[in-house]
Amino acid sequence: MHPADVARLGGIEVTTAGIVEGFLAGQHRSPRRGFSVEFAEHRQYQPGDEPRYVDWKLLGRTDRLYVKQFEEETNLRAMLVVDASASMAWRGDPARLTKLDYATRLAAAMALVLLRQRDATGLVTFADTVQSVTPARVRRGQWAQLAGELGAIQPGQGTAAEPALRQVVAALRRRGMVVFCSDLLLDRTLTLKALKFLRHRGHEVLVLHIADPAELELGGGEETRFRDPETGESVTLAPGEWAGAYRRTVDGVVRAWGSACRAAGMRYALLPTDLPFGTALSRALGA
Amino acid sequence: MGFTAPWALAGLALAALPILLHLVQRREPPERAFPAVRYLEDATRDHRRQLRLRHLLLLALRTLLVIALVLAAAGAFVRGAMPFGRHAPSALVLIVDHSASSTAVWGGEPALTGIQRAADAVLARATAGDRLWLLTATGVPRTGSAEELRAAVATLEPAARPMDLGAAVAVARDLLAGVDRPGEVVVVTDAQGSAITPTRGEGPLTVLRADGDPPPNRGLAALDAGAQPWGGDGGRVTATLLGVATDPVAAALEVDGRTVRELLVASGAPLTLPVPPLTAGWHEVRLTLAPDEFRLDDTARVAVRVAPPAAVAWTPGDRWLDAALDVLAADGRVRAGAEITLGSLGRGRSVVVPPSDLALLPALNRALAGRGLRWRYGAVQDGAGALDSGAVLPFRAGVSRRVVLESATTGAGEVLVTADGAPWAVRDGDIVLLGSRLDPAWTELPLTAGFVPLLDHLLTRTLSGDLFLTTAVPGTPVVLPGLVTGVTRAGNEVAVEGGAPWRPAGPGIHYLLRGVDTVGAITAALPDGESDLVPLTDAELRNRWPGAVVRAWDEADAAAFGSSGRGDLRPLLLLLALGCVIGESLLAGRGRSVVR
């Protein structure tokens, strides 16, 4: 299904489930199926509950009967890092999703996939500052929280990926997976440095390069002043004269990101916003 | 720099078009949000300066293209030497001297061939933008394209007549005065001195002349047959050898195509040649030299009228008439007879003088009226007067007494001689009336040397059939006698109007006809100066035509269209425009290839 069609169906919560169901239909079960349990929450004791799950310490302190509820612990903790800068709120065609819309839907879908695999999943959104941090968990309602966070993202102004990635370092104390969703219109050196640091910490890093097709192919003929919505910088030129050079530059950027990521052991995928989500998920999750 | 169509310079305003478009394009372009500006900057960083330079070059090329096209449309030219292959649109009058002298053979070929070659070289340089005229011996300028005029030049025949090149140049300059472009006159000639006459007007004039020495030439001036008609005992013709002094040259005297004498003639004094007795009628006497390089003056002709002596009756005893008639009789001009009555009214042709007894005038008038004469004698006038000179009487003579000649009808007969403007001798039909008796008491005429020729004219020409004998230059008009109805030459007769001008087409004898009778002849011959083939020197030529540029025939291709001193800039401008177009295409294409 085309992303634009998906977007017309409804909000993230509604549409993501469809996306993921379709995606998972052809997938194997997660190889990272948990082998241990971890405390998740308390609830009041009810007749019939196994006494061994009664939290005796809590009974001693509060004089109330609570039973422990445990979650299956995974060996993967994933953190979705979504760029919410102003450039992400752009689209070259009104019929298409903005890069941010595309990224949030894609992140939501990935979160749902991961959570269904019982992988703890968190979220960091950033623009010129870190906007929100949702720790990685696998509890029930996590996906709804993440979807809510993603749906509530407001585009910021600039892009400051490096602080956001530092937040990830703090959030993922153990080895995990970092999914970095961005249009990569940022300081590549700093960002790569931060990503490499994550990789150095043993995290699996997936860089999803969200790009509007109009950013990949420069269209139009008349001379136009192109203004960067983030920085306000502008360039005036006739697109018809520069389409080729622009294409080569973009190809170079894509190749540079790909090479840098591969060299650092990271995965990189270019995802145009007209790419169907299923295909995008396949590229993102290495299917 | 000048322009043949300066109004087209208004198009220079179009040169601002590329600049305006450039400025319009430089106005604030539409703005578009585009996050990947950094990619654009990266893409254009290396080529932006090159692109700006390319835009400036394109602007310059397009502006230059417009300017070049406008200047070409305005007919730009430069003054001075012609550094370019083409000349500015010009007007040119080409005068081709194909006069009789052009038949002379110079260096193995007729001068006309060289003249045609030079003229063709001139016309070959003409372009479609030129206005051209060809002026030949006809005197009528002919306009046309270069190809048409080249064809006309190639088919030119010798005109067998002289040309007045000075007059032709004047006509040419008048033509050029009415054109809106620079003009020049080019004369292609053998530079014969007699043709280079003074001219008028101003303007560029180029003379392409023969280069080298002319062929030696001797020719004949027109033959003089003396007083005519001749009697039956023959006569004499006088010839004069013209041209450079040479050894005696063989000649043949022919009468009606039959050689009657062969001789050697030399330049110097006129040569008088006797002609044997001829039968009554018209004869063509011709003297022909051995041929040389210029044939048209090697033959001289004259028409000779042979008639028997007039038979004259007069009353002996008048000492003046007796003496004069004795002279005429001795010369074979008259004889005693009854055909013409001299001194009184006879039965036939008569020369009537007033009677010595003036009382007889009324009777004489009645007799004249009875003969149908429209003239009569009037009152007697005494007093000093003078006879006016004319064709019959080539000098003036005093008159002391005369009888007025009156005519009842205006324009009747022919007034032969006047005295102080009044008729003194008239002819009406076959009667001639004289106003005075041929006596010194009436007129001093009998005492003058012209008395005998006057009687000879009256008796042998006026009353024996007047002859119209003259010479003419081919192509020049001759006023024909009033009663002439036709002209014949070599058996070809053409009807003419008596009293009107007529032009003999070429050398030869043209007989004048009145009905079926031959009443005269026009001997058409080249003027004597045409035999002198020596050309003017360049200095002499420039002296006659100040400001003329003199070149040789083989310099025709370089000389033509150069006198106006203007070089056509249009080919260069069009070449420049083409270069701009090519440059613009290459630059635009290269620019596109650079950024792709």
- Residue range B225-254, pLDDT digits in tens: 887 888 777 888 998 888 766 678 889 999
Considering B51-65, B262-276, B446-460, the range whose residues carry the highest mean pLDDT is B446-460
| Same domain flag for A177 and A130 | yes
| Same domain flag for A239 and A134 | yes
At the fourth CATH level, the homologous superfamily of domain B310-462 is: Class I glutamine amidotransferase (GATase) domain (3.40.50.880)
Beta bridge partners of A272: A211
So where are chain B's domains? Answer: 2-82+570-595, 91-215+533-563, 218-307+467-528, 310-462
Phi-psi region of A260 (alpha: psi -120 to 50; beta: other; left: phi over 0): alpha
| Same domain flag for A167 and A59 | no
**pLDDT confidence tier of residue B350, bands split at 50, 70 and 90:** very high
**Looking at residue B221, what DSSP letter applies?**
P
| Same domain flag for A150 and A46 | no
Judged against a pLDDT cut of 60, whether residue B134 lies above it is answered with yes
Judged against a pLDDT cut of 80, whether residue B52 lies above it is answered with no
**pLDDT confidence tier of residue A4, bands split at 50, 70 and 90:** low
**Where in B244-391 does DSSP place strands (E)?**
249-255, 258-265, 271-275, 281-289, 299-306, 310-314, 334-336, 340-343, 349-352, 375-387
- Tell me which chain B residues have a C-beta less than 8 angstroms from the C-beta of A236: 29
Angstrom distance (rounded) from CA A111 to CA A114: 5
Question: Can the peptide bond before residue B477 be classed as cis, meaning omega within 30 degrees of 0?
Answer: no
pLDDT at A75: 54
Are A228 and B37 in contact (CB < 8 Å)? yes
Helix, strand or coil, per DSSP, at residue A32? coil
pLDDT at A253: 93
Are A229 and B32 in contact (CB < 8 Å)? no
What is the tens place of the pLDDT at every residue in B293-304? 888 888 899 999
Angstrom distance (rounded) from CA B222 to CA B214: 23
- Tell me which chain A residues have a C-beta less than 8 angstroms from the C-beta of B39: 215, 246, 249-250, 253
**pLDDT confidence tier of residue B362, bands split at 50, 70 and 90:** very high
Gap from A9 CA to chain B (nearest CA, Å): 27
Final residue before a domain boundary, out of A72, A95, A124: A72
What is the tens place of the pLDDT at every residue in B140-169? 889 999 999 999 999 998 887 778 899 999
Chain B interface disruption, residue of A225, A230, A270, most B CBs within 10 A:
A225
| Same domain flag for A278 and A141 | yes
| Same domain flag for A117 and A252 | yes
Higher pLDDT residue, A68 or B81? A68
Chain A interface disruption, residue of B25, B27, B595, most A CBs within 10 A:
B595
- Tokens at residue A286, please? 């290495």
Q: Are B299 and B288 in contact (CB under 8 A)?
A: yes
Are B595 and A245 in contact (CB < 8 Å)? yes
pLDDT at A12: 55
Are B43 and A248 in contact (CB < 8 Å)? yes
Q: In what order do the strands lie in the sheet with B183-189?
A: B142-143, B131-135, B91-96, B183-189, B205-209, B549-552
Q: Are B44 and B51 in contact (CB under 8 A)?
A: yes
Higher pLDDT residue, B83 or B508? B508
Q: Kindly provide the b/e burial profile for residues B159-192, where b requires at least 16 CB atoms within 10 angstroms of the residue's own CB.
A: bbbbbbbbebbbbbbebbeeeebbbbbbbbbbbb
Are A253 and B37 in contact (CB < 8 Å)? no
pLDDT at B314: 86
Residues spanned by the domain of A217: 3-30+74-284
Q: Are A127 and A155 in contact (CB under 8 A)?
A: yes
What is the tens place of the pLDDT at every residue in B57-73? 888 888 888 888 888 88
Nearest to B210 by CA among B582, B483, B541: B541
Gap from B119 CA to chain A (nearest CA, Å): 59
How many other CB atoms sit within 10 Å of the CB of residue B133? 22
Q: Look at chain A and count its residues.
A: 287
pLDDT at A100: 93
Q: Look at chain B and count its residues.
A: 596
Domains B91-215+533-563 and B310-462 are alike in CATH topology: yes
| Same domain flag for A59 and A94 | no
Mean of the per-residue pLDDT values of chain A? 81
Mean pLDDT value of segment B125-152: 89
For chain A, the domain total comes to: 2
Chain A interface disruption, residue of B23, B27, B34, most A CBs within 10 A:
B34
| Same domain flag for A23 and A121 | yes
Question: Which of A147-151, A171-175, B117-121, B395-399 is least confident?
Answer: A171-175
Question: Which of A80-84, A137-141, B33-37, B46-50 is least confident?
Answer: B46-50
Residue A227 parent element (H or E) = strand A224-227
Q: Are B554 and B122 in contact (CB under 8 A)?
A: no
Look at domain B218-307+467-528 and name its CATH class. mainly beta
- Tell me which chain B residues have a C-beta less than 8 angstroms from the C-beta of A183: 35
Judged against a pLDDT cut of 60, whether residue B85 lies above it is answered with no
Q: Are B106 and B535 in contact (CB under 8 A)?
A: no
| Same domain flag for A24 and A125 | yes
Task: Give the long-range contacts of residues B321-324, CB within 8 A, separation 24 or more.
Answer: B321/B438, B321/B455, B324/B446, B324/B451, B324/B452, B324/B455
- Tell me which chain B residues have a C-beta less than 8 angstroms from the C-beta of A230: 35
CATH of the domain at A100: 3.40.50.410
Phi-psi region of B202 (alpha: psi -120 to 50; beta: other; left: phi over 0): beta
Q: In what order do the strands lie in the sheet with B431-434?
A: B334-336, B310-314, B340-343, B349-352, B431-434, B422-428, B414-419, B375-387, B397-407
Phi, psi torsion values for B265, nearest 5 degrees: -120, 150
Are A215 and B33 in contact (CB < 8 Å)? no
Task: Give the long-range contacts of residues A259-265, CB within 8 A, separation 24 or more.
Answer: A260/A188, A260/A192, A261/A195, A261/A205, A261/A207, A264/A192, A264/A195, A264/A196, A264/A199, A264/A205, A265/A199, A265/A205
Judged against a pLDDT cut of 50, whether residue A32 lies above it is answered with no
- Give chain A's contact residues with B (Cβ, < 8 Å): 86-87, 90, 183, 185, 214-215, 218, 220, 222-231, 233-237, 241-246, 248-250, 252-253
Burial class (CB in 10 A: 0-12, 13-18, 19+), B584: middle
Percent of residues, chain B, with pLDDT higher than 70: 93
Mean pLDDT value of segment B532-536: 85
- CATH code of domain B91-215+533-563: 3.40.50.410
